Chain A
Amino acid sequence: MSDVPAAAPASLAELDEEDLRWHAPSRPLYRLGLSLRANPTLVAGLTLLGMFTAVSLSAWHGYGDALGSLVTNSALAQTLAPPPPSAAHPFGVMNGIGIDILTALYESTPTDLVLVASILIAALSVGVVLGSVAALRGGGVDGLVTVVSDLLVAVPPFFFVMVLFLGIQRFVPPNGYLPAFVGLFAFVLWPSYARSTRARAAQVARSAYVEAARSAGASFRRLLRRHVIPNSFFPVLAQVPVDVYNIFFVLTAFPFLACFNPFFTLLSPLPNGRYAEWGYLLAQGACYGWSPLASINHWWMYTFPALTILTFGVAVALTCDGLERYLLGPRGQT
């Protein structure tokens, strides 16, 4: 389980083979701290995520129970020509609903962080465990996981979540919408993680070190925990940023469509129509601010929410890329 030495280019392929035969290819997570200096991507990603976390803790502390309900200001709502960003409103103002965009984004941070984190953690844990189990067990379990996940990934997450949410919505009180949304989204996303984990875990399960551990009498659970999962989950890291997109897409799309047809309000997982959440803010911004006519195009209304989501997505992407690079060791630095 040691670091793979930097290999001479000519024998790289052979070394890889050799390495995969005897060693787990990834490095243990607990050594992460030591290699941060050599991994600026990871440092940047973690720093950004840390900042988001700090912001969300501060907002959490500041808003307390009022978190989520947007602070609206009827004076701003009535502004006819909403002023562009200024010192008083650095990200500008969204009239109509009457919010200072910076404040609203700040208030939304904890909600979004918790939403994204819980969906990803739920989907990742289910997907990685099922994928690894499927690969290690093989046979019927493998077949079942494969068939089910193939089925579930065949419908775009957007439509899928919609169908599921529509089905259960009437059974859930509004304050249960967000937890239900997390559950449904995790249900829709786990198959893609299971698929990529399974593909990798199938190789790992056949590798010599797993065979060695198995012959040394390691239990199935130990094999899974010590060998297969740690060495199989890095392919999902490429998928995670895409799912951050999927999550925000759904969060944004329904409030946005609701601009044109109030029906879509029904499909929004937000418990009420004035909920502090980045996707909702972006949707409202696009709704109120966007116009093909430059004179009434209030660009700041959608640009700043979009940039916030973008920055968060970049933070996740950098962290995932950095982690992947770290886990793969020098070979990851392609």
Chain B
Amino acid sequence: MAREGRRHRRARAGAGALAILAAVVLVGLLGVALPGGTPVARAADLGSTPPGAAAAPALGWPTFHGSENRSGFTPVSGPATDHLFLDIDPTGQPIRVGPVVAGNFVYAADSLATVFAVNRTNMSVAWERSLGTTPTNPDIAGGLLVLGGSDGFVTALSPANGSPVWSARLDGPVAPALAVVNGTVLAASAAGSLYALRLNDGSVAWRISLGAPIEGGVAVEGNLALVATSGGELVAVTLAGATAWTVPVGAPVNATPAIYDGRVIVGDLVGNVSAYDLGNGTEAWRFAGRTLAAADTITTTPAVGLGSVFVVSSLGEIYALDLATGALEWSRTTGTSGYPVLASPALTPTGLYVSDAVQEIVDLAPTNGTLLWRSSLSFTPSYSSPAVAQGGLFLGDDLGALFEYAPPGGPATYAVTGRVVNTTGAPIAQALVRTSGAGATSAADGSFSLALGNGSYLLNVSAPGYLDRNVPVEVAGANVALPTIALAPVPTVWVTGRVVDAHALTALAGVRVTAIGGFGVITMATTGPHGDFAVRAPVGRVYLTVDPPSGYRGLATTISVGPNGTSGVVLGLEATALGALADQHPYDALAPLIAVAAGVIALGVWSASRARVAAGLGPRLLSRFGRYVLMRSLLIVAQMVGGMFILFLFGSILPAVAYGASPCVFYPAGGCVASTASWADPIAVARAFLEGFGSFVYNLFTLNWGLATYGNLREPATTFLAWWFPSSLELALFALPIAAGLAYVIGLRAGARPEGGVDLGARLSSVAALLVPSFLVVLLFVGSFYEGFLGTFGDNPYGLLPSPEWFVTHGGPPPWIGLGSNTSPTGLPLLDGALHGDWGFVGLVLFKTLWQALAIAVVYVAIFLRFVRHAVVEAHTEPHVRAERARGLDEGTILWSHTGRRVIPLFLLVFGMTLPVYIGTQSLVESMANDSGVGTLLIAEMTHVSGIGFGYSGINPTQHIGNFYQVTIFLLLALVLIGNLGADLLAHYFDPRLDRAEEV
């Protein structure tokens, strides 16, 4: 488990940034309205708070100290014995915040940035998410898990899977407990500001400055938010952002105040506890804690309820005060002599739970402080405040364990029943009723039943084609029958358009168009004689797919549907090149046959030409250089086919055999249908291989590259390449000159004086950079400037583009950055930024590009130098150089003008030879830096290798290619071979003597 957590901590390295972007994109794509924004049905007599009554604490424990009023009191009793029900070690790192409990899930975070959810039903970690910062107590409300961090970010995650929904940045580290009320997140910062952020998107509703650092959290009751400052003031702020009242506490406070029964109770750093009237701030009473233990301080939030205030002090004193008068009711110490207490206590009608710094959890009788039970587990401090919910007591410790004390067999469950109908009262079958940890589908009569333990839940009721509803349910020791839940149908609008041939623009009739919108609305239509279609779809992002007619490729696209519908959508289908040859698969083998034939013909011509010379019939047909170019070009084709053969054999055939897939019958567009033949049938195998290889080659050459996946993006591979090739190119345009410049200068200097300082230094550092794997070089590189970069630019150094967090504080992502972090119009981020005059963006991107280019150059130059050193030494001692030296030319001129020129062709040759290394290096650096680049995609795609390889993706005929990595390696091969040829030709151009060297 510890390993798991650490993985995620490292995996944060930028992945979070893209994940946030991807999550935002996905949410947008599917048009899923956040639960906070959907209609919430209030069950008539459940969960409503009578106005003016004392706070009715929730049955769950959704936030720090149980509820937003921080009373730490819950009316449902906790465990009465020390029986340990759950002991799980989610990440192996200290758990100092949380836990909070909602339904069957327990949420907490470790001190090294990982937030996690534990499913109590199967006692497993449901998800983990690294935030990259020391987190505050989480708060679960409105369908989101909200928490802050020491880096100043407030982040909202999906409680279901931990995917980030939004994040917003405050002006300083976020205070330990934030509150969520009425769709607003109230968060204080250590810089002394109180923020109200909108729960649906994290935008700032208002912000006020309180003048002194805030180290405690926010408590909310009614219309007032209470915050105590380290300047010793207690401030009440209305939920509209106006200060209601301010009173001096008399000493700095770094704990969160508690509110109960119209009283605000706060403990301060000189050990006093004071109570104030919630309405106007007048002091009701004050208790000097130091009368019990000198030099004591209070850093925890008191538990308030049952007419008493229960305070624990940092020296281990526990005392109960009368809520009305502040009179001491009883006191005792933790342990034998008082162990420090760093966690706020929890209170139930039958027990006061206090965990102390030697990891002893004690249960005391609230009436007189008698010890009911105690349990010692790991003897490490616990900073995490115990949570009592659903009959269990939860807490985390500094060894990373999460415990639940509950009776054997776990807390009891109760049946929650209800019925789902539509607006006309007809039952909805198969409606999904979900809450954290439990779920059910409705029967044919719309009825459902869930088994839930004591606590508060939000049931999410959804059915395809209907708007979701969230129904709050509170289970308190009895079965609950919910009123009938009526779902309203999703309003839909018309989406109309035409399907045409993308080039000829002719109408395509009889084509099926499918629209997939939010709320699971799927509608279909078939195009009419003029290629026209009309489908109904919900407002928002709608995914349109077209099932291709014969001879065309499928199409999938996303459109944005407005409230009045959308018309004039034109879906252009690309014809497949072999459309006319449909279902004549043997033709697929044409491409390799043509290549082989071309090779044979070229060889014939070459031999004929040689024979002609041998027979004395005349000179060769082409010049020496011409022959060389011709040979090399032909070789490239042969090499590519050879490379594809290896890719196909190892990436498609062997995995298909290994996974037991049947041999396929191929269709020209690339899909394959498993035949009944087995691999033991040689004819079927031969046919599958030939057809498959033909299809493979054909698809590769016709850009029929299928879909690729990165994060939550799933797009045609060609789209990814169109998005990301320019940014990879831009990076190369920086990295190559830097590498070339460094290699040239260092190589020349080193070669000019072998065994000199530069030479030795270069050789040593080249060996070092060679042997330390390049990703570690990148890590060390990043580590050396990470904090400086963050401080200077307000963004982490990962990615080529600014992170979503950076955009949050810079006015949001501009419209010219697309879905895939691709910029427009050119795709080169720097150029596009400059074209749009966004100089802040350009500056940040420039520095991000530069460090990555430098990292690539460092690794690559090390490899490069090993190959060129000898050549420079040789060139520098050549006769003509020595002659120049004898003539008295100074060493500098000789080195740069003579040797320097002489080695250029050689450098080019070495560059051609090491091009694969360069590309490999750049891919890794891109991937390590989490760039939106082709290298990242290549490495990410390796993880999507399906058992059934390239050309074997028979599941969906429109999805031609299973393994995109084969495409990228093919491209790499093409790039390297052509680049090699280019480098060779350039070298020959510079040094014609090389032609002769080729003549063997």
Contacts and interface: CB of A to CB of B under 8 A. Distances in A.
Contact of A163 (B94, B647, B867): B647
Contact of A155 (B92, B774, B776, B972): B972
A7 interface: no
Contact of A264 (B638, B779, B879, B943): B943
A282 interface: yes
A151 B867 contact: no
Interface string A291-334: 11110110000100010011011100100000000000000001
Interface string B865-893: 01100100110011100100000000000
Given A13-B879, A95-B2, A164-B650, A310 B771 contact: yes
Interface in A152-192: 153-159, 162-164, 166-171
B980 interface: yes
Task: Give the 9 A-B CB pairs with smallest separation, nearest first.
Answer: A167-B650, A292-B786, A156-B920, A170-B658, A313-B771, A167-B654, A263-B943, A151-B639, A156-B916
Interface string B380-419: 0000000000000000001110000000000000000000
A154 B779 contact: no
A228 to B, nearest CB: 14
Interface string B635-679: 100110011001101110111001100000000000000000000
A292 B782 contact: yes
Residue among B10, B639, B873 having the largest count of chain A Cβ atoms under 10 Å:
B10
Interface in A254-312: 256-257, 259-261, 263-264, 267, 279, 282, 286-288, 290-294, 296-297, 302, 306, 309-310, 312
Given A150-B639, A155-B643, A260-B11, A168 B919 contact: no
Given A279-B773, A288-B6, 11 more contacts: A78-B2, A142-B1000, A150-B639, A155-B969, A155-B973, A167-B653, A248-B771, A253-B775, A260-B10, A292-B783, A313-B767
B976 interface: yes
Contacts of B212: none
Nearest to A198: B1000
A142 B785 CA distance: 51
Contact of A238 (B112, B768, B866, B945): B866
B770 interface: yes
Chain B binding surface SS class = helix
25 contacts: A78-B399, A80-B399, A147-B642, A151-B643, A153-B913, A154-B976, A154-B980, A156-B917, A159-B965, A167-B653, A168-B650, A170-B654, A170-B658, A241-B770, A242-B770, A249-B773, A249-B774, A286-B776, A287-B6, A288-B6, A288-B10, A290-B10, A290-B783, A292-B783, A310-B771
Contacts of A162: 942
A41 to B, nearest CB: 10
Nearest to B945: A166
A260 B8 CA distance: 7
A240 to B, nearest CB: 10
A5 B920 CA distance: 45
Contact of B771 (A156, A244, A264, A286): A244
Contacts of B942: 162, 263-264, 267
B425 interface: no
Contacts of B977: 154
A303 to B, nearest CB: 9
B972 A156 contact: yes
Contacts of A257: 939
A261 B15 CA distance: 12
B546 interface: no
A170 B773 contact: no
Contacts of A171: 654, 658
Contacts of A245: 770-771, 863
A142 to B, nearest CB: 7
Interface in A1-33: 9, 12-13
A159 B967 CA distance: 12
Contacts of B943: 261, 263-264
Contacts of B913: 153
Contacts of A158: 920, 924
Interface in B749-797: 754, 767-768, 770-776, 779-780, 782-783, 786-787
Given A97-B3, A153-B916, A292-B786, A147 B647 contact: no
B530 interface: no
A314 B764 CA distance: 9
A202 B1000 contact: yes
A148 interface: yes
Contacts of B94: 80
Nearest to B1000: A202
B649 A167 contact: yes
Contacts of A62: none
A291 B779 CA distance: 8
Contacts of A253: 773, 775, 924
B779 A147 contact: no
Contacts of A167: 649-651, 653-655
Contacts of B917: 156
Interface in B30-70: none
A286 B770 contact: no
Interface of A: 9, 12-13, 77-78, 80, 95-97, 135, 138, 142, 147-148, 150-151, 153-159, 162-164, 166-171, 202, 238, 241-242, 244-245, 248-249, 252-253, 256-257, 259-261, 263-264, 267, 279, 282, 286-288, 290-294, 296-297, 302, 306, 309-310, 312-314, 317, 334
Contact of B15 (A97, A155, A260, A306): A260
Nearest to A81: B94
A334 B873 contact: yes
A11 B669 CA distance: 68
A292 B646 CA distance: 40
Contacts of A154: 639, 643, 916, 973, 976-977, 980
B917 to A, nearest CB: 6
B737 to A, nearest CB: 21
Given A154-B980, A241-B866, A252-B773, A163 B7 contact: no
A162 B333 CA distance: 63
Contacts of B980: 154
A56 B673 CA distance: 53
Nearest to A287: B10
Contacts of B879: 13
Contacts of B866: 238, 241-242
A261 B945 CA distance: 13
B157 to A, nearest CB: 19
Nearest to B867: A238
B655 A166 contact: yes
Interface in B813-865: 863
B646 A260 contact: no
Contacts of B973: 154-155
B646 A148 contact: no
Contact of B772 (A155, A263, A293, A310): A310
A60 to B, nearest CB: 24
Nearest to B920: A156
Contacts of B659: 170
A86 to B, nearest CB: 21
A259 B642 contact: no
Nearest to B642: A151
Contacts of B3: 96-97, 288
Contacts of B774: 249
A80 B111 CA distance: 11
A309 B656 CA distance: 37
B186 to A, nearest CB: 29
A302 B945 CA distance: 30
Contact of B642 (A13, A148, A156, A314): A148
B92 A96 contact: yes
B991 to A, nearest CB: 15
Contacts of B112: 296
A313 B916 contact: no
Contacts of A78: 2, 92, 399
Contact of B11 (A13, A151, A166, A259): A259
